[in-house]
Chain A
Amino acid sequence: MSLKNVLCTASAVAFAATGAFAAELTIAIVNNGHMINMQTVAEAYTEETGVKLNWVALEEGVLREQVTSDTATGGGQYDVINIGMQEAPIWGAAGWIEPLNFSAEYDVEDILPAMRAGLSNDGTLYAAPFYGESSMVMYRKDLTDAAGVTIRDNDSWARVKDAAAAIHDPDNGVYGACLRGKPGWGDNMAFITTVVNSFGGAWFDEEGRPQLDSAMWNEAINFYVDLLGNYGPPGSEGNSFNEILALYNEGKCGMWIDATIAASFLEVDGVEYAQSPNAGNAAGANWLWAWAFAIPAGSPNAEEAQKFIEWATSKEYVQAVGNHPEFGWGSVPTGQRASTYEIAEFKAAAGFAAAEMAAIDSAAPAASDIKPYVGVQFAAIPEFPEVGSAVAQEMAAALSGAKSVEDALAASQAAADAIMREAGYYE
């Protein structure tokens, strides 16, 4: 073989190798129904573009840990990552993820404003929402009718408690209110924070000083412990989304206030939806969360990754799922685009659509005078998971009766103060 042939062959092999490398994306995802469906729908994307997709499904906590250690060590393990609303603005500001720039056809304005705001930092979008959620009341109308009570949109907590008491019938295995009690910043604290918000409380002041010793926190937690302790299922301190979903589908819950996505998993008849209760404060009754796609800084395939994200979070993707023979309109990802809620087939298949859209629209993630940080059921600061986890344990202790609400809040304030002080927010 001549030298020229050798060089030609080597160049061809090198080119092929480079091409093969570029046409492969490794995507880290959380394991949930929408993401599982995407792996099937994306087969068409691979056929069309030739880009091979390697999916790595991980449990939420492990995903965060792995993606954090990957990005902190310069990236390269993943080309596309699933991150939540808590991480997106922080990681964007830290330069751990790439800013996203979409083409005009993508119609970035169609993404719900609350979602865009929550996934941006200084006006730059760092993650594109794949699906989003807020929280709402999911109650059994047959039980409220039988008890002669009603639940309205943005009802007062007092009326909600009265309704829970009226339908509470533990002898027949029906509990008035099923709420999160399992400790975790994304578990019990997600719900508890919305209660505190609606009572006018907040996690921190402008300087970052914890506010857990405020009267609002005291009132909110006393109310939460009273409501769930008296009208909730036994062992509520071990219940989070999945445990309550199982109880609800067994017909044991009169009402459940939780993520809007739960509505698509409910298999009992007569469920009605209402906007989250409030204690008079206009902001913060509904939470806001999104699972979004981002590109870690350092990904060698950033261009291909951007194209994939553009497809996965597009209007076309929603159509692809809705028209897919295996899935249909009841399975399309929701809470990300306004246009999804205008699709007639979707509205017909999803009875919860209007309530979900209203809940997301009314969520207020931006900083305000009452809540001087970004985020609804969390604060978008790096220290929040640590603070939230510490307080979550105390709240579970108060719920189980191991501690008084006052002692639990005092311990929470001390723990949060130590973390924030050490982080340098104040001296």
Chain B
Amino acid sequence: MAIVAQSSKYGQIGRTTLAWIVGLLFFFPIFWLVLTSFKTDADAVKPEFLLFFTPTLENYVNMTENYDYWRFARNSVITSVFATVFTLAVGIPCAYAMAFNPARRTKDVLMWMLSTKMLPAAGVLYPMTFLTKNILGIFDTHFLVIIVLSLINMPIVIWMLFTYFKEIPREIIEAGKMDGVNTWGEIREILIPLAWGGIASTALLCFIFCWNEAYWTVRLTTTDAATLSKLIEGNRAPEGLFFGRLSAVSAAAVGPIVVLGWFCQKQLVQGLTFGAVK
């Protein structure tokens, strides 16, 4: 008995140690990024200043004074928030219809939606530029970025919401119908409160995807709607080691999303494990 208890204790220590190692490994790039952002470009590549160096705010000052960080950050917030809201506004009714009133081809429609994610973005770069710039005249606008981010994330959002909604017993929705609740009432009064954890985690993931999107936000904007992805992109240099500067810009770009994730981790975990254990 004692041997079993002891081996179980060792097992727990081993698992905890392993979890810490894996956790630290995953955290290391962020740690490195933040540390480098407080070094000068010259110090950033010198091994003797790996951990011990004279910290400087030079990169952050440069970023806000010369690179107009706040304009890029404001654009990221506007486009990510509105794209997330719009995606959910379309995605929730869509997933509701598919989960509770499935048609014969619902599964096929879902698969088709997911298949749109398989299209290589570069393949439609030219038509997208032509369409948005020459025909619609919406190139480099918040509206365009919001629409593009929404459409990119719509399949994943609908899939996630569909999975969460499927976990809700159909009888509850039908009971609502019996009580004379209309469709909008079913969604608002029954579905959303019951699937709140799933919706919150879907919204959070959608927001993170929108914030980090770097293909279209770089290529469909110039200055007015350029997001933080474009600011990072512009700090990559083929000839010259500007790691301090690049790290500061990257840290300032990922900072808000890391903080948001930290505060919402409970909802995130709850949502991602929703229905995992029955």
B45 at the interface (CB under 8 A from A): yes
Q: A31-B234, A72-B126 in contact; A261/B42 too (CB < 8 A)?
A: no
Q: Closest Cβ of chain A: how far from B110's Cβ, in Å?
A: 33
Contact between A69 and B237 (Cβ–Cβ < 8 Å)? Answer: no
> Which residues of B come within 8 Å of A, CB atoms?
42, 45-47, 66, 125-126, 129-130, 133-134, 139-140, 218-219, 222-223, 226, 230, 233-242
Interface-forming stretch among A74-82, A113-121, A216-224, A411-419? Answer: A74-82
* Count of chain A to chain B residue pairs whose CB atoms are closer than 8 Å in the complex: 90
Contacts of B134 in A (CB 8 A): 73-74
Q: Closest Cβ of chain B: how far from A418's Cβ, in Å?
A: 21
- B139 (CB) vs chain A CBs: closest residue: A77
A87 at the interface (CB under 8 A from B): no
- B62 (CB) vs chain A CBs: closest residue: A36
Contact between B140 and A31 (Cβ–Cβ < 8 Å)? Answer: no
Contacts of B126 in A (CB 8 A): 69, 72-73
Contacts of A57 in B (CB 8 A): 234-235
Cβ-neighbour of B46 out of A36, A249, A265 (below 8 A): A249
Q: Closest Cβ of chain A: how far from B126's Cβ, in Å?
A: 6
Contact between A59 and B222 (Cβ–Cβ < 8 Å)? Answer: no
Q: A30-B238, A69-B126, A78-B222 in contact; A58/B233 too (CB < 8 A)?
A: yes
Taking residues whose C-beta sits less than 8 angstroms from the other chain, chain A's interface range is 35 or more
Other A-B contacts than A59-B236, A242-B240, A267-B42, 15 sampled, CB-CB below 8 A, are: A31-B237, A32-B237, A32-B238, A32-B240, A58-B234, A59-B238, A60-B238, A65-B219, A69-B126, A73-B130, A74-B133, A77-B222, A242-B238, A242-B239, A249-B46
Residue in A30, A62, A74, A241 whose Cβ sees the most chain B Cβ within 10 Å: A62
Contact between A250 and B46 (Cβ–Cβ < 8 Å)? Answer: yes
13 sampled A-B residue pairs with Cβ under 8 A:
A30-B237, A36-B66, A40-B66, A56-B222, A58-B230, A62-B219, A66-B218, A73-B130, A73-B133, A74-B133, A241-B238, A241-B239, A245-B45
- A66 (CB) vs chain B CBs: closest residue: B219
Residues 184-199 of chain A: 1 if any B CB is under 8 Å from the residue's CB, otherwise 0?
A: 0010000000000000
Task: Kindly state the separation between the CA atoms of A40 and B126 in the bound complex, as whole angstroms.
Answer: 34
Q: Closest Cβ of chain B: how far from A9's Cβ, in Å?
A: 27
A33 at the interface (CB under 8 A from B): yes
Contacts of B47 in A (CB 8 A): 250
Task: Kindly state the separation between the CA atoms of A241 and B241 in the bound complex, as whole angstroms.
Answer: 9
Q: Closest Cβ of chain A: how far from B197's Cβ, in Å?
A: 39
Q: Which residues A44-73 have CB closer than 8 A to chain B?
A: 54, 56-60, 62, 65-66, 69-70, 72-73
Contact between A265 and B241 (Cβ–Cβ < 8 Å)? Answer: yes
- B235 (CB) vs chain A CBs: closest residue: A31
Contact between B233 and A77 (Cβ–Cβ < 8 Å)? Answer: no
- B232 (CB) vs chain A CBs: closest residue: A59
A127 at the interface (CB under 8 A from B): no
Contact between B239 and A56 (Cβ–Cβ < 8 Å)? Answer: no
Contact between B237 and A65 (Cβ–Cβ < 8 Å)? Answer: no
Task: Kindly state the separation between the CA atoms of A32 and B240 in the bound complex, as whole angstroms.
Answer: 6
Contacts of B236 in A (CB 8 A): 31, 59
A230 at the interface (CB under 8 A from B): no
A331 at the interface (CB under 8 A from B): no
Contact between B125 and A76 (Cβ–Cβ < 8 Å)? Answer: no
Contacts of A259 in B (CB 8 A): 239
Q: Closest Cβ of chain A: how far from B135's Cβ, in Å?
A: 10
Residue in B45, B235, B238 whose Cβ sees the most chain A Cβ within 10 Å: B238
Q: Closest Cβ of chain B: how far from A52's Cβ, in Å?
A: 11
Contact between A261 and B239 (Cβ–Cβ < 8 Å)? Answer: yes
- A184 (CB) vs chain B CBs: closest residue: B238
Task: Kindly state the separation between the CA atoms of A57 and B133 in the bound complex, as whole angstroms.
Answer: 20
Task: Kindly state the separation between the CA atoms of A60 and B238 in the bound complex, as whole angstroms.
Answer: 7
Contacts of B239 in A (CB 8 A): 32, 241-242, 259, 261-262
Contacts of B242 in A (CB 8 A): 31, 33
Q: Closest Cβ of chain A: how far from B131's Cβ, in Å?
A: 9
Task: Kindly state the separation between the CA atoms of A97 and B174 in the bound complex, as whole angstroms.
Answer: 66
A301 at the interface (CB under 8 A from B): no
Q: Closest Cβ of chain A: how far from B63's Cβ, in Å?
A: 12
Contacts of A242 in B (CB 8 A): 237-241
Q: A32-B239, A242-B240, A261-B239 in contact; A62/B233 too (CB < 8 A)?
A: yes
- A249 (CB) vs chain B CBs: closest residue: B45
Contact between B218 and A62 (Cβ–Cβ < 8 Å)? Answer: yes
Q: A56-B223, A69-B129, A77-B222 in contact; A246/B238 too (CB < 8 A)?
A: no
Q: Closest Cβ of chain B: how far from A287's Cβ, in Å?
A: 13
Contact between B241 and A246 (Cβ–Cβ < 8 Å)? Answer: yes
Task: Kindly state the separation between the CA atoms of A102 and B240 in the bound complex, as whole angstroms.
Answer: 31
